[in-house]
């Protein structure tokens, strides 16, 4: 389910585009090893976002530049002249990072072969600000009162500033406006995205969402992604509720960070962007499932050396919550089939709920506690007491879930997991002793969706799979716990 390459390094998703019924996922990739170097664009595609086919390297680094993050579109009108009316080009817009100096500019590559082979545009770069940190272009087609044209949203990373440009042909770009620095500015800004969504599906209530990844300075410490809801008139993005002007010299408090909106509260969700070519109602995001604090140090298998994977694809929507629109996320997957249902009531002592969790599963948990009490759920990897497992603790008094990830025992092969991998992360939830969560478990990963998908926490587990679920109530009693285990019918 979670895409990873057969071999070598993988990080930021790039060029997410739907073309002729297939979802194309490009990504930061080192074709020659597991280290973060020689950045090129790897390539995979899928018809269902579950089963992925990996293709040969799409755009390879050259002696002059590395191919950093960017996006891809289909030039149906052939405005660029890089394809034909019958065979429109896929156009990738990426950051060309110079090898001989600190310089980043935006460049093009194009494909008239269904994205399987690519050519670098001879007129590169197409947009150069003379900057060392101008990167991560996301291109989309704007259709609105201001006209019809291509828009590029990119960042001046160290300035913590989003910059917007427009073009009629994807080749010549003119400046529109900028946004920031606002909100979280504790690290460089990267990988922006900007897109419209209808609030609760209402066609007459459309807002725009600006995603901004930053590292460090995220809500979980290190890498993270904030989002801002507002309006885009074709020139300027204006937030509905402007975040405070940020000062990178000052470390914000946890309370200040929690006043902002975050795509994910966990450590392992970064650089997420959405697909071009889907209807707004089907807006789908994929992110890199790792964290720069330890991504370069995670152990690899000698037989198949590989680092990095993607989150599950997530369908995005806006819903009104506490009087304002917030992002709602759900996994974009085919329907699941329940395979087991477990219920316990009036639990006052630790007890194992199930020891037969599939390697890939959806786990729907309904938990009801006595008011003011707490309860821990332990996802164990050994089918027994789960001593090395992930611990999810819900504190009903504080209305907060805490996920603790201990340092696993060294794996049999591939080396030790770095000490920085261990940690604990919290996420505020709507109050009350009753909670409904959806947990997606797959190949050593956990993605937790709570508050009807408006709060998400993602982390690697350090184990190949969780096989047991154990309940450990705090002082007081667990009134009831129901866990429904489901699998994808296709798996």
* Distance, CA of 141 to CA of 314 (rounded, Å): 21
- DSSP of 364-430: EEEEEE-TT-EEEEEEESSSSS-TTSEEEEEETTTTEEEEEEPPPPPPSSS-PPPGGG-EEEEEE--
Q: Which residues are catalytic?
A: 12
* Distance, CA of 471 to CA of 400 (rounded, Å): 17
The sheet that has 351-354: what strands, in order across it? 351-354, 468-473, 374-380, 390-395, 400-405, 423-428
**Count of residues making up the chain:** 491
* Distance, CA of 38 to CA of 366 (rounded, Å): 46
Q: Which of 451, 446, 453 is nearest to 435 (CA)?
A: 451
* Distance, CA of 377 to CA of 404 (rounded, Å): 11
Phi and psi torsions of 173, nearest 5°: -125, 140
Q: Which of 89, 133, 277, 118 is nearest to 195 (CA)?
A: 277
CB 290 within 8 A of CB 460: yes
The sheet that has 53-59: what strands, in order across it? 53-59, 40-46, 22-30, 8-19, 306-307
* Distance, CA of 41 to CA of 384 (rounded, Å): 42
* Distance, CA of 453 to CA of 105 (rounded, Å): 37
Rg (CA), the chain: 22
Q: Which residues have a Cβ under 8 Å from the Cβ of 368 and sit 6 or more positions away?
A: 433, 434, 435, 478, 479, 480, 481
Cis amide leading into 333 (omega within 30): no
- DSSP of 436-462: EEEEEEESSEEEEEEGGGTEEEEEE-S
Cβ count near 383 (within 10 Å): 14
Burial profile 338-361: b = 16 or more Cβ within 10 angstroms, e = fewer: eeeebeeeebeeeebbbeebbebb
DSSP 257: H
Q: Tell me the C-alpha to C-alpha distance, in Å, between residue 303 and each of 6, 307, 317, 432.
A: 11, 13, 41, 49
């Amino acid at each position: 389910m979670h895409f990873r390459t057969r071999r070598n390094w993988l990080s930021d998703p790039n060029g997410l585009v739907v073309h002729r019924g297939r979802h194309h996922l490009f990504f930061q990739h080192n074709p020659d090893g597991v280290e973060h170097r020689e950045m090129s664009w790897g390539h995979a595609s899928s018809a269902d976002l579950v089963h992925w086919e990996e293709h040969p390297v799409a755009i390879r680094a050259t002696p002059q530049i590395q191919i950093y993050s960017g996006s891809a579109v289909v030039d149906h009108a052939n405005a660029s002249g890089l394809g034909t009316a019958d065979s429109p080009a896929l156009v990738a817009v990426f950051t060309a990072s110079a090898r001989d100096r600190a310089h980043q500019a935006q460049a093009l590559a194009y494909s008239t072969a269904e994205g399987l082979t690519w050519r670098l545009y001879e007129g590169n770069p197409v947009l150069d600000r003379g900057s060392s940190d101008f990167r991560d272009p996301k291109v989309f087609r704007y259709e609105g009162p201001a006209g019809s044209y291509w828009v590029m949203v990119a960042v001046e990373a160290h300035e913590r500033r989003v910059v917007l440009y427009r073009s009629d042909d994807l080749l010549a770009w003119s400046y529109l406006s900028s946004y920031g620095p606002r909100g979280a500015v504790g690290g460089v800004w990267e990988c922006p995205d900007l897109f419209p969504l209808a609030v609760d599906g209402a066609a007459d209530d459309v807002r725009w969402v600006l995603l901004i990844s930053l590292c460090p300075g995220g809500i979980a410490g290190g890498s993270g992604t904030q989002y801002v809801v507002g309006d885009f008139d074709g020139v300027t993005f204006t937030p509905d509720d402007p975040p405070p002007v940020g000062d990178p010299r000052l470390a914000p408090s946890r309370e200040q960070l929690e006043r902002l909106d975050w795509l994910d509260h966990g450590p392992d969700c970064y650089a997420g962007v959405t697909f071009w070519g889907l209807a707004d109602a089907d807006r789908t995001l994929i992110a890199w499932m790792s964290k720069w604090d330890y991504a370069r140090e995670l152990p690899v298998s000698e037989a198949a050396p590989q680092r990095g994977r993607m989150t599950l694809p997530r369908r995005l929507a806006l819903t009104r919550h506490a009087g304002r629109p917030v992002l709602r996320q759900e996994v974009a997957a085919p329907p699941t089939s329940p395979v087991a249902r477990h219920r316990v009531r009036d639990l006052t002592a630790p007890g194992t709920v199930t020891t037969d969790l599939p390697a890939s599963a959806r786990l729907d948990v309904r938990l009801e506690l006595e008011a003011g009490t707490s309860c821990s759920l332990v996802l164990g990897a050994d089918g027994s007491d789960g001593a090395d497992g992930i611990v999810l603790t819900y504190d009903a008094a504080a209305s907060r879930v805490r996920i603790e990830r201990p340092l696993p025992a060294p794996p049999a092969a591939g080396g030790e997991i770095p000490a920085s991998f261990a940690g604990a992360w919290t996420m505020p939830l709507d109050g009350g002793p009753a909670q409904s969560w959806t947990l997606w478990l797959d190949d050593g990963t956990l993605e937790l969706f709570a508050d009807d998908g408006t709060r998400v926490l993602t982390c690697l587990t350090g184990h190949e799979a969780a096989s047991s679920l154990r309940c450990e109530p705090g002082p007081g009693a667990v009134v009831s716990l129901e866990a429904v285990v489901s699998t994808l019918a296709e798996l």
